[in-house]
Amino acid sequence: MVQSGSGFYLVNLILAIVAMSYDDCQKREQAEIEEEYAAALVHMYACLYGAHTQLEPCRTLPIRTRISSRT
């Protein structure tokens, strides 16, 4: 027979796994955004200070932005 407390344990375990998965996805997304931002900054400084090459001329780079719902 299943005890009533084990149902709560199972629900809490599932919620913990979902929360960890969500957190991992958020961290990966934030890391990708930071990499894109860093690459855009490097490109911008190269264009400003004349370090760009003929192979990679100065151009506008799209930067993905995300509006956070957290304040």
pTM for the whole structure = 0.56
Q: How far apart are CA 51 and CA 33, in angstroms?
A: 24
37 compared with 64, residue with greater pLDDT: 37
- The stretch 14-40 carries a mean pLDDT of 94
pLDDT on residue 1:
43
Beta carbons within 10 angstroms of residue 33's beta carbon: 14
The angle formed by the CA atoms of residues 11, 16 and 17, to the nearest 5 degrees, is 100
Give me the pLDDT at residue 23, please: 96
Alpha carbon distance, N-terminus to C-terminus of the chain: 47
